[in-house]
Amino acid sequence: MARILEHHAKQMFANAGIPVPEGYPAVSADQAATIAEGMNGPVVIKALVPVGKRGEAGAIQFAEDSRSASQAARDLIGRYISAYMIDTVLVEERIEIASELYISIIIDRDERRPRIVISASGGVSIEDIARERPEEIVSQTFSMSEGLPEFRARELWVAAGLTGPVIPLLGRLTNRLWNLFLQHDLRLIEINPLFVTPDDTVIAGDAVLSVDDSANFRHPELDRFTVPGTDRSWRPMTELETRAQRVHEKDPYRGSARYLELDGGNIGFLCGGGGASLLLYDHLVQAGGHPANYAEIGGNPTEAKVAGMTSVVLSKPGVEGLFVAHNITNNTQIDVIARGVVQGIRQAGRDPASFPVIAREAGLHDVEGKDIFEGAGVTYFGEETTLASAAQQMVDAIQEGGSR
C-alpha cells in the first residue's frame, strides 16, 4: 500500500473541488520564511511524512510570522518520525475554526464495498472516539454501482448531529470525496480535522490518501506522488521488500506474492493460505524458531514468481534455512511451487545438502511436487505430517546446523 503526502493529496482535493487551505512545500527554513511572509498571517508548519499522529510527535507547529515559521521549519527538517526523515515541510495558512469534524472512506472487507465514517468530533483520534464515545460516530456502506448522491451524504451528517447551512456543503464535499475515492482506486481517504469556519464554510484541514497497489497500472499519473510502505506495519519499505514488490509487479495478473521483513531471525519463511500461514508462523515460534520474514505466495503464481520470492527470502543476511509450507492448496499447483523454489534456491547459491530446506506441501499436483523437491535434496513432508510437526522439524534442522 502506498500513501500520498499531504500537499499532493490536497492538490488532488482542490482539483476535485474540495476546499483546502493555501499552502506550499518548503525544503529549508529560509524557504518556509519566504512562504510565510507571502501569506501575511499566522501559519501552520507540518512535517511531510506519510504517518499519522504527527501532532502528538511534535511534527505540526504553529507560527505567527515568518521568523517563527523559519524556526519551526528548522526544528523539523532533519528529524525522524516513525523511521521517516523529514526533508520537506508544508507551510499552510492557519484557518479560523468554529468546529472540527471527521470523515473517512475505507474499503469494508466484510461487506466488500466502501464504508463512510463521519463524526462531529474531529481533530482527535477516531479510534479514541470509537472506544470512548461510539455514539458520536455514523458509519454506513454504499454500493459502488449505486453511488453516493448528495442527499444521502447530507443524511449522514444530519444523523451525526449537524444542522444549518453547512449541511449542503458537507453533502457536496462528501460526494466529491466519494468520486475521488472511486476514480483513483483508493483504499483510504481521511480528513481529520475537517474545519467548519465561523461563516459556515468547510475546509479540509488534513488529507490522508492511500492507494491500492493492485490498481497502480491504471493510475500511472500517481506514481510520482506515492510513497511506498508496508501496510502491515507502516514504515519505509526495506530493500528486500521493494525487491519482492517488483517480483510481484512483473506479472500482477497471476498469483500473489507478499514479503514482510522482520527484525533478526534465521529461518526464511515462504508460506500461503491466509489463516494457515499465520498458524505456521506461530508453530515456528512455539517450536523455538525465529522467522526472518513473513512471505506469502498463493493464487497459483508462476514458477518465475515463486523463484523470485524464494531468492528474496534467501537474500536476507543471517538466514540459515528455508521453510516452505501450505496446509492444503486448492488452486495453487505444488509442482509449480516446487520448481520455483528449487530454481530460487539455486539462484541464491544455496545447496540443500548443507543448507536446511523443508517443504510441507499438500494439494494439487503434490505427487509431482514431492518428486521435484526430493530430487533437489529438499526434505519433503505431505498431508500426513501436521503443520506443527513440520515446523518443529525445521527448527530442529536449524539447531542441528544443517545435518538431517
Packing angle, helices 366-375 and 334-347, rounded to 10:
20
Q: What angle do CA 189, 259, 252 make, to 5 degrees?
A: 70
Neighbouring residues of 314: CB distance < 8 A, sequence distance ≥ 6: 268, 322, 344, 345, 348, 350
CATH class (in words) of the domain with range 237-399: alpha beta
Neighbouring residues of 62: CB distance < 8 A, sequence distance ≥ 6: 42, 43, 44, 45, 72, 94
Q: What is the pLDDT of residues 158-194, one digit of tens each?
A: 999 999 999 999 999 999 999 999 999 999 999 999 9
Q: What pLDDT does residue 279 have?
A: 93
Q: What pLDDT does residue 365 have?
A: 95
Is the backbone peptide bond immediately before 193 cis, with ω within 30 degrees of 0? yes
Average pLDDT of the chain? 92
Contact by Cβ (8 Å): 268, 293: yes
CA atoms within 13 A on the CB side of 400: 13
Q: In the block, which residue shows the cell 481517504?
A: 189
Environment class of residue 279 by beta-carbon count within 10 Å: exposed (0-12), middle (13-18) or buried (19+)? middle
- CA 224 to chain centroid, in Å, comes to 17
Q: Which fold has domain 99-226?
A: D-amino Acid Aminotransferase; Chain A, domain 1 (3.30.470)
The ranges of the chain with pLDDT < 70 are 1, 228-234, 402-404
Q: What pLDDT does residue 234 have?
A: 59
Cell of 265: 531471525
What's the whole-model pTM score?
A: 0.71
The SS3 of residue 186 is strand
Q: Domain residue spans in the chain?
A: 22-93, 99-226, 237-399
Q: What pLDDT does residue 82 have?
A: 80
Q: What pLDDT does residue 403 have?
A: 43
What CATH number labels 22-93?
Answer: 3.30.1490.20
